[in-house]
Structure 1
Amino acid sequence: MQQLTNPRELRGLAILSQPNTIIQTGKNEWDVRSQSKNAYYQVTRTFVKGRDPQHLHDWKCTCPDFATRNMPCKHIHAVQFSLKLSGDIQEHSTPATIAETEIKVLCPSCKSGNVVKRGIRKTQFGEVQRYGCTDCDHRFVVDKGFCRMKFNPKVITLTLDLYFKGVSQRKIADHLKQFENVEVTQPTILSWIKKYLRLLGKYSEKYKVEVGNIWHSDETTVFIKKEGEKKYYQWIWNVMDAKTRYLLACQVTENRFVNDARNPLQKAKSVTNVRPDAIVTDGLQAYKEAVKAEFYDNEAFIQNPHIRLKDFETKPNNNILERLNGTFRERTKVIRSFDSSAGAGEFAAGMQTYYNYIRPHMGINGMTPAQMANIPINLMGNRWETMIGLAATK
């Protein structure tokens, strides 16, 4: 879906943003509510053989505008937008070419850029380039995030990758001992995860993302240990862009009230600095006031972009976020519970980084959401090691 400039397209999206305005009565038939009176117009779609793939169907509507112009009216556009939303992939979106990110070497002592190569340093993990500063004569090697670590980068990044793919810490330790001949304790694994997630989280926040105009929001539960209670759940809120699959916000709250629903929406706004044309949510009542409070614009053509779904079967649906929630549950099923809200928040931030930058997404042809959002990071080979190196040197 491109930026909308056609007035009838904008009116069609305005129709879609209101509840119960489009009712599918047949395979290629819809009733669309009128904006000016209490009535419905019938929209039909007919397959035309021999047409090019861009215009396979012939659309008709019973409204006066279509009868006069014989061109797509706002009711037809509303149905077409509904069908696009149901697929949740915007067909003509292509990622820009991402250039290789160059790391500029600076002297850690005086921060000068006047450095030259001064030989090779041999370590237990291989050869490392040594540099010298021509201003202060300081010699150094570039810290790519693994300086003074007892274990090599491969072992550490393998641990991170297995963790976010749903493998327990005990099984990770067993895997490293069996295949890498390395003995690592579970507390060491946890310390690596916390250290590098903090580093990557700060680095990823530096970039503004280029996203589409349709967002999805949903929430899922996470179990927290709480003294005196057998089961105590908190909520992870996710906001995702439909075009790039980029996870704009991932935050943990204790409740599901209006203020809780506003937190991830505020975070999503700060990441993109754009106002979406539509925000698709489930029927949670808190979204109604939260979306209005964060995105209502009296001067915009679509004043309130909220699209509230009645049920799981209604189109458009929230399936892309339901699939994301499944990915989260694959990890939380192994963790079982967190010791505190802070631990759950660290986990959510880590999953957001993993989902956006590391994990290939089959819905966007095996690319990462960060690539689709035109973030200038080229992660090749060991994506964990490359991103940690970039974060440590920036």
Structure 2
Amino acid sequence: MIRQLTNPRELKGLAILSQPDTVIQTDKNEWDVRSQSKDAYYHVVRAFQDRHAQQRGQATWTCTCPDHTTRNVICKHIHAVQLSLKIAGDVQEHSTATAIAEAEPKISCPVCKSEKVTKWGNRKTNFGTVQRYSCNDCGHKFVVDKGFCQMKFSPKVITLTLDLYFKGVSLRKIADHLTQFENVTVNQATILRWVRKYLKKLSTYAEKYKADVGNIWHSDETTIFIKKDGEKKYYQWIWNVMDAKTRYLLACEVTETRYVKDARKPLKIAKDAALNVPDAIVTDGLQAYREAIKDEYYGLGRIQNPHIRLKDFETKPNNNILERLNGTFRERTKVMRSLDSAMGAGEFAAGMQTYYNYIRPHMGIDGMTPAQMANIPINLTGNRWETMIGLAVK
């Protein structure tokens, strides 16, 4: 049973294991472990004196790193291998039988829901020509709604505003960008209304699928400024739970306080969003995690208590896998004076979660999105915003 780690080399071993493709098994009792300080691998070997020692699990460990060869101690690379064996490894592959959702879903009649439709000429619009269809059962004539019907502006303009918004551009600058490069005049209130409208559709659609994630999760919390009458500075907490292997953001929840009941909310959401339960949940020193993780996860996985609590946040190794995520959040919040309300904060968190998982490529996973790494059955091509909105509407 893994509890709080205090040995510095064990903590460094966990930090190695938290990153993907750092512990590679080359033989039954041999591994290559990536160095933290340079682009190289050290070779770790496990040896048993005899069959009885193997049955008892009494092994002799060796590593080619300077720490082990000069001091003859169990180094961080050996600890990384031992932890990977104990929690079944973070590089374990999973598979799903769910088919990929089609980028162009099947067309059905909006009146009788029949799929017996045929093409029925074209309709000219301000944004080009669109295909019309006729239902063979009820005779209804229609065009396919891809999420932008009865909108004054084109899908390109609307999705451009969504992308710029989550890349940290202020509403005023987005409006100026549209005026200069798209010859479109849009006020800031309209842009914000688009963001709220489409993010509600996307977040609801994304909740349909469960993520195929790894065995080590990280949890952390950060503050966000809320506009509240009678208070100059009122902050709430955003809780993030992320899988180390796929970088998939399993939960992004807003609460007013940091008690045990608050910590349980994102942990429960993460449990419901994943196909499997973790073997280790890495957190900082916040006391609320101790009871919250025990309440939500105790006895569910291969390890009774999966909580690994790092002694502090400043000393390496730390919970830094979430630091890049917090940086992505700050790209957006630094250009905002505040959020309007707790409801606005919840909408913002849900939108950031959708953007981070489905739209934004992650350099830590070779330019893929976390949703792709987590085998989410959604095929997003080209303009990912427009494609996903079309699927969500369908």
Give your verdict on TM over 0.5: yes
Alignment length (residue pairs): 350
| Aligned position for 1:152 | 154
Partner deviation per Cα, 1:91-141 (whole Å, 9 max, x = no partner): 576998957544011100111111111112111111111111001000000
The question of 1:56 aligning with 2:81 is answered no
Q: Which residue of 2 aligns with 1:24?
A: 9
Counterpart secondary structure, 1:24? helix
Q: CA deviation at 1:72?
A: 5.7
1:148-297 equivalence runs, <5 A: 148-297=150-299
- Structure 1 residue ranges without an equivalent (≥5): 1-13, 29-44, 48-52
RMSD (Å), alpha carbons: 3.2
Residue by residue over 1:354-377, the C-alpha shift from the partner in whole angstroms, topping out at 9 and shown as x without a partner, is 000000000000000000011111
Provide the TM-score with structure 2 as the length reference. 0.81
Query: How many Å apart are 1:57 and its aligned residue?
Result: 2.9
Between the aligned partners of 1:370 and 1:377, the Cα distance in structure 2 is 8
CA distance in 2, matches of 1:280, 1:68: 26
Confirm or deny: 8 A CA contact 1:83 1:316 kept in the other structure: no
Which residue of structure 1 aligns with residue 37 of structure 2?
none
Separation in 2, partners of 1:68, 1:295: 27
Residues 1:83 and 1:166: Cα distance change in structure 2 (over 3 Å) = farther
Query: For the residues of structure 2 that align with 1:296 and 1:83, how far apart are their CA atoms?
Result: 19
Q: Which runs of 5+ in 2 are unaligned?
A: 14-30, 34-39, 63-73
* CA pair 289-130 structure 1, distance change in 2 beyond 3 A: same
Q: After superposition, give the CA deviation of every residue in 1:36-95 in whole Å (9 maximum; x if it has no partner).
A: xxxxxxxxx999xxxxx998234589xx9589854569x89971258879xxx9557699
> Partners in 1 of 2:95 and 2:363 — Cα distance?
15
Partner residue of 1:302? 303
Query: Are the structure 2 counterparts of residues 243 and 201 from structure 1 closer, same or farther at C-alpha, using a change threshold of 3 Å?
Result: same
Amino acid at match of 1:212: G
* Counterpart code for 1:240: M
- 1:362-373 counterparts in 2 under 5 A? 362-373=363-374
Contact 1:95/1:373 (8 A) holds in 2: no
Structure 1 consecutive aligned stretches of length 4 or more whose deviation exceeds 6 Å:
75-78, 82-85, 94-97
Classify 1:260/1:270 alpha carbon distance in 2 versus 1 (closer, same or farther; 3 Å). Answer: same
Matched residue type, 2:44: H
Q: Secondary structure at the match of 1:360?
A: coil
> Following TM superposition, by how much is the alpha carbon of 1:384 offset from its aligned partner in structure 2, in angstroms?
0.5
Aligned mates of 1:381, 1:348 — CA distance in 2: 25
Task: Give the Cα separation in 2 of the matches to 1:239 and 1:65.
Answer: 40
Q: Show the counterpart of 1:79.
A: 79
Q: Equivalents in 2 of 1:375, 1:232: separation in Å? A: 37
The normalised TM-score by structure 1 is 0.81
SS at match of 1:350: helix
CA distance in 1, matches of 2:57, 2:335: 61
Asked if structure 2 preserves the Cα contact closer than 8 Å seen for 1:358 and 1:384, the reply is: yes
User: What one-letter code is carried by the residue in structure 1 that aligns with 2:220?
Assistant: D
Deviation (angstroms), 1:317: 2.7
Q: CA deviation at 1:311?
A: 1.9
Match of 2:332 in 1: 331
Residue in 2 aligned with 1:349? Answer: 350
Instruction: Check whether the contact 1:236–1:348 (CA below 8 A) recurs between aligned residues.
Output: yes
CA contact (8 A) 1:94 1:372 kept: no
Partner of 1:317: 318
Question: Cα deviation per residue 1:309-339 (whole Å; 9 max; x = unaligned)?
Answer: 1123556531111211111111111112011
SS at match of 1:173: helix
The structure-2 alpha-carbon separation of the partners of 1:211 and 1:227, relative to structure 1 and needing over 3 Å to count, comes to same
Q: Determine helix, strand or coil for the equivalent of 1:19.
A: coil
Please say if residues 250 and 264 of structure 1, whose CA atoms lie closer than 8 Å, have aligned partners that are also in contact: yes
CA, structure 1 residues 166+94, in 2 after alignment: closer, same or farther (shift >3 Å)?
Answer: farther
Larger mean Cα displacement after TM superposition, 331-340 or 182-191: 331-340
- Equivalence for 2:67: none
The alpha-carbon deviation at position 387 of structure 1 amounts to 0.5
Equivalent pair of 2:44/2:78 in contact (CA under 8 Å):
no
CA gap 1:116/1:219 in 2 versus in 1, 3 angstroms: same
- Cα distance in 2 for residues equivalent to 1:46 and 1:191: 52
CA distance in 1, matches of 2:167, 2:392: 22
